[in-house]
Amino acid sequence: MAYTLPLLPYTFSALEPYLDAKTMQIHYEKHHSGYVEKLNKGLALYPQWKDVSLEDLLCNWEQLPYEIQQLVRNQGGGHWNHTFFWQCMDPASSQISLELLSLVEKQFGTFDAFKDAFIREAVGFFGSGWTWLVVDRLGQLRLYSTPNHDHPGRFGFFPLLVVDLWEHAYYLKFQNRRLEFITAWWNVINWSFVSEQYTAYRVKEN
């Protein structure tokens, strides 16, 4: 079974004025669909891996045949990360769950301090990659950035939220101003989705 581009849960212009429609369209129709196409093309000759979940492949790519390790890591990671990223955003405002909020406040002091720390991490990360809010092996929240399209599950982390730091995610509207992009993006975070990921983590751990 081939991988498919998931439907975007909103229109290209839905996240205006924070994220512009043209960037969203190119990001989804060109970048994300390109990763899906290349992943399918590359895996076509390796049908024995088709029943393994993409997340498992990404967390263990070095166990794959050498010829497809970087393909899965890069194109497969691009597909997984973007699929997750689209769901982390929504035009409707939503609330973080009390359970997750209390953990955020316990670890970061206040929600605003957490926001500052997240933005600082994302702005400070060098090059192309992703900044994540994850749960680590000890059940603690952690800010973590991965280069290129690497998956945080590789390091034992469970993802709750992510932002795309590749320039293709913001260059048309924000040019080199990554801080402005991340600050604008913060307004469209889907806190319901993020909170659901934390619930899923709790279910998985119990």
- Contact residues for Mn ion, defined by CB under 5 A: 164, 166, 169
Reference 33, options 153, 152, 168, 147; nearest CA is: 168
Can you tell me the distance from the alpha carbon of 97 to that of 66, in angstroms, rounded to the nearest whole number?
Answer: 43
Of the pair 86, 158, the CB lying nearest Mn ion is at: 86
Measured CA to CA in angstroms, residue 82 lies from 10, 19, 94, 114, 116 at distances of: 14, 15, 21, 23, 23
* Nearest distance from C-beta of residue 192 to Mn ion, angstroms: 22
Reference 16, options 184, 189, 183; nearest CA is: 184
* Nearest distance from C-beta of residue 191 to Mn ion, angstroms: 21
Can you tell me the distance from the alpha carbon of 180 to that of 158, in angstroms, rounded to the nearest whole number?
Answer: 27
* Nearest distance from C-beta of residue 164 to Mn ion, angstroms: 4
Can you tell me the distance from the alpha carbon of 78 to that of 73, in angstroms, rounded to the nearest whole number?
Answer: 8
For the CA atoms of the chain, what is the radius of gyration?
17
Of the pair 135, 151, the CB lying nearest Mn ion is at: 151
* DSSP H or E stretch at residue 144: strand 141-147
Of the pair 134, 163, the CB lying nearest Mn ion is at: 163
* Nearest distance from C-beta of residue 129 to Mn ion, angstroms: 10
Of the pair 90, 164, the CB lying nearest Mn ion is at: 164
Of the pair 85, 201, the CB lying nearest Mn ion is at: 85
Task: Please report where in the chains the tokens 């429609």 appear, as a residue.
Answer: 21
* Nearest-CB residue for Mn ion: 164
* Nearest distance from C-beta of residue 76 to Mn ion, angstroms: 14
